[in-house]
Amino acid sequence: MFRPESWYWLYDIPPARLAGLFIAAFVGFYWLGAIIIRPILRQFVKHTASCNDIVGYVLSCFCVFYGLLLGLIAVTAYQNVADANENVTREAAALSALYEDVSRYPAPYGQNLRWLLRDYTRYLIKYGWPLQQRGIVPEEGTIRAEAVHDQLLEFQPRTPAEEIVHAEALRQFNNFLECRRMRLFSVTSALPASMWYVMILGAVFNIAICWLFDMRFLTQLILGGILAAYLGMMMHLIFDMNQPFRGDVSITAEPFEMLYARMNEG
Amino acid sequence: MDRDDIPPGMTAQPLSRRAALRHGAATTLAAARLLAPALFVGCSTGIPPRQQTVSVGLLHSQTGTTAVGGRSLRDIEMHAFERINAAGGILGRRVEISAPNPRSRSELRVAKARQMLDRGAVAVFGCWTSGARKSVLPLFEEYKRLLLYAVQYEGNESSPYCVYGGMTPNQQILPLLDWLTGAAGGEKKRIFLVGSDYVFPRTANFITKKYLKEKGLVPVGEEYVPLGDRNFSAVVKKIREAPADCVINTVNGDSNIGLFAALAEAGIEPAWLPVISTSIAEDELRSLLPEQVVGHYAASCYFQSLDTDANRQWVKGFQNEFGYDRVTGDPLEPAWCLVHLWQQAVEKAGTFETEAVRQAFREGLEFAGPGGRVRLDPKTQHTTKYFRLGQIRPDRQFHIVHQSRGPIEPDPYPQIAFPGWSCDWTQDGVVRGAEVDIDGDV
């Protein structure tokens, strides 16, 4: 049975090379089919008058549905990446606001909390992000978030001003936790296997219909190859956006890196 | 090409599938022959080769009573391994760090240690209190893997599967008593002992009482509070009533906040009643109010204020990595040294296998740490240490008022307290002496 995650090793291949591989695979499949399968398929339409018109009509109908499907899936995948990206930015913003809030705490709480937030950010950049890029949910960030929570709850405000700052810090912390949780969910979020079935079978049908055209062999190879190359590019694009933290179209740790640099300015 | 342009004798024909295949195959083969050297000889695939890894565990509580020290130890050990990895790893392998959180809870600590060992950790650096170390040590003996413990401890223990990087009593308690009862320390005679109620303070105080007895002295008081307790008003009342002329403080963790607050509230000044702490470093000082602690002392092997190039460079490296206001301190320096001593042992052994690494300990490993050169004693699997006494400054750092002339050899069984006991892992291991009752009469 086809399991999309069993193909995730492909993300380890550099993006340009992976795109080339997708295109080569689709074009290769088309050409191979044109050599081996096309003569068999052509038996069905060989002596039909104006067979190219019929094949062209079927292909047009098919392409409408398949194009719509691919387009919608590509948009969904992109939206998924965009949402996760926005979430990451919101998490970094909440962390930044929290860092500012706890800077107003008296010693040693303020310093402890600043250290803990820096520690969380550093872990995320150095350890968490590389794990996410491998599709693994980083576990030890939770420990660091818990440490921040414990330290926040340990602080007992003594003045009305401290109460206001503490309430705001707790609100920011909850924001941060919410964004963090959503980021962790999106690490493993991906298109379901059934969508991949439909996409791959659709591509195979698309190519198979093209094999039915009656034309010069070289023209068949060139025109069909162009179509297959474009299909490969589309598949690569969707595969690339399939997981928000993997591949070329993925979310970087830049918001956290900028925040960490600011935290260390002193 | 127009049909008219065809030379005489030749006919234009559409390219047949067979002909296309023949031409295509010939062209492909020719291209492959031409391009093969460029494609396959000396060309990188562009994919960085995956370096082999080795798993190492860090067992430090990151929440709970001992979290402040635990987190700092975790950070310095991660820093050490990050640098090792940046330099190519150990035996060509990148060290993968696993740092779960035992939450300062004994049952979780054992479970996390077991989990790390089951997942193949070749060694674990960890534990803060002696109770923590003792709770997991049987596990390391069962799995025959190494636990590397960086915090000062009470001695009276030796395990072939533990490397002790912190100070033993003969490197901390005994030099402190020498100083305190000598001219430099003001020849103190009325010493009060206060500690947390667990194995380190009780054993350290047992050794202290034995030592004082030899000098014809008796502590004027001895009090213990549960670990984590902050109510010291009754203890401070007893200190005043004794009356003591100095306090040796083996209280651990956050409880020190309560102790120093109570001392300050009682109007006790370091000028006439100094408190010498054995478990306070720069990290703990951050939680203590300077006005309550300035002038008191701490006995240690290392202080951040140590004025050497090696130390300044080390502190700067740590702060560059973890933040401009981070502090180093006693257990951090031994932890750093332990990581590098273990690295040396593995590289000497040429393998991560525990018995081979232990064998490498026998070759006498040395490391130039930020606090001075340390040597791993092959007999005891403890390290040599400087003894340093620091007086607390208003900037939450220490002014070093005394330092031993050179590194002190480790002795987990000081004969004054444990007669007949000794340890030599190059020979027969632990030689047992007379039974000692830590809680009994001295």
| pLDDT tens digit sequence for B204-236 | 999 999 999 999 999 999 999 998 899 999 999
pLDDT by residue (tens digit) across A67-89? 999 999 999 999 999 999 999 99
pLDDT by residue (tens digit) across B259-290? 999 999 999 999 999 999 999 999 999 889 99
pLDDT by residue (tens digit) across A162-206? 999 999 999 999 999 999 999 999 999 899 999 999 999 999 999
Nearest residue to B170 via CA among B332, B375, B382: B382
Q: How far is A65 from chain B (nearest CA, A)?
A: 32
pLDDT by residue (tens digit) across B22-40? 666 667 666 655 555 444 4
Q: What is the value of pTM for the model shown?
A: 0.87
Report the distance separating Cα B383 and Cα B409, nearest Å.
Answer: 7
Whether the CB of B48 is below 8 Å from some CB of chain A: the reply is no
Say whether domain B53-167+308-385 belongs to CATH 3.40.50.2300: yes
The pLDDT, as a whole number, for residue B26 is 67
- Chain B positions in Cβ-Cβ contact with residue A218 (cut-off 8 Å): 15, 20
Report the distance separating Cα B196 and Cα B258, nearest Å.
Answer: 12
pLDDT by residue (tens digit) across B288-328? 999 999 999 999 999 999 999 999 999 999 999 999 999 99
The pLDDT, as a whole number, for residue B20 is 61
Average pLDDT, chain A: 92
Average pLDDT, chain B: 91
Whether the CB of A156 is below 8 Å from some CB of chain B: the reply is no
- Residue B46: pLDDT band by 50, 70, 90 thresholds? very low
Q: Detail the DSSP E strand segments found in B284-342.
A: 297-300
Parallel, antiparallel or unpaired: strands B53-59 and B94-98: parallel
**pLDDT beyond 50 at B127:** yes
Task: State the DSSP H helix or E strand holding residue B276, giving kind and residue range, or none if neither.
Answer: strand B275-277
The pLDDT, as a whole number, for residue B44 is 43
DSSP code of B25?
A: H
Residue bearing the bigger pLDDT, A54 or B11: A54
Residue A56 tokens read as 């062209």
Task: Return the domain boundaries, chain B.
Answer: 53-167+308-385
In a mutagenesis test of the A interface, which of B13, B101, B112 is the best target, namely the one with the most A β-carbons within 10 Å?
B101
**pLDDT beyond 90 at B442:** no
**pLDDT beyond 80 at B4:** no
pLDDT by residue (tens digit) across B145-203? 999 999 999 999 999 999 999 999 999 999 999 999 999 999 999 999 999 999 999 99
The pLDDT, as a whole number, for residue B16 is 63
**pLDDT beyond 70 at A230:** yes
The pLDDT, as a whole number, for residue A262 is 94
Cα angle, residue A217 at apex, residues A216 and A223 outer, rounded to 5°: 85
Q: What integer is the mean pLDDT of A217-246?
A: 93
Whole-angstrom CA distances from A163 to A99, A159, A179, B292 are 16, 6, 24, 26
Q: What integer is the mean pLDDT of B379-407?
A: 97
Report the distance separating Cα A120 and Cα A76, nearest Å.
Answer: 31
Q: How far is A252 from chain B (nearest CA, A)?
A: 19
Q: Tell me whether residue B435 is exposed, middle or buried, using C-beta atoms within 10 angstroms of its C-beta: 0 to 12, 13 to 18, 19 or more.
A: exposed
pLDDT by residue (tens digit) across A82-125? 999 999 999 999 999 999 999 999 988 999 999 999 999 999 99
pLDDT by residue (tens digit) across B414-428? 999 999 999 999 998
| Interfacial A residues in 214-233 facing B (CB < 8 Å) | 216-218, 221
**pLDDT beyond 70 at B336:** yes
Q: Check if the beta carbon of residue A15 is closer than 8 Å to that of residue A240.
A: yes
Nearest residue to B173 via CA among B339, B87, B300, B271: B300
Report the distance separating Cα A125 and Cα B318, nearest Å.
Answer: 17
The pLDDT, as a whole number, for residue A249 is 79
Q: Tell me whether residue B100 is exposed, middle or buried, using C-beta atoms within 10 angstroms of its C-beta: 0 to 12, 13 to 18, 19 or more.
A: buried
- Chain B positions in Cβ-Cβ contact with residue A216 (cut-off 8 Å): 14-15
- Chain B positions in Cβ-Cβ contact with residue A116 (cut-off 8 Å): 71
pLDDT by residue (tens digit) across B65-115? 889 899 999 999 999 999 999 999 999 999 999 999 999 999 999 999 999
A146–B323 C-beta distance less than 8 A: no
Q: What integer is the mean pLDDT of A55-63?
A: 93
Parallel, antiparallel or unpaired: strands B372-377 and B365-369: antiparallel
| ipTM (interface pTM) | 0.85
Among candidates B16, B100, B286 on the partner chain, residue whose Cβ is nearest the Cβ of A217: B16
3-state secondary structure of B440: coil
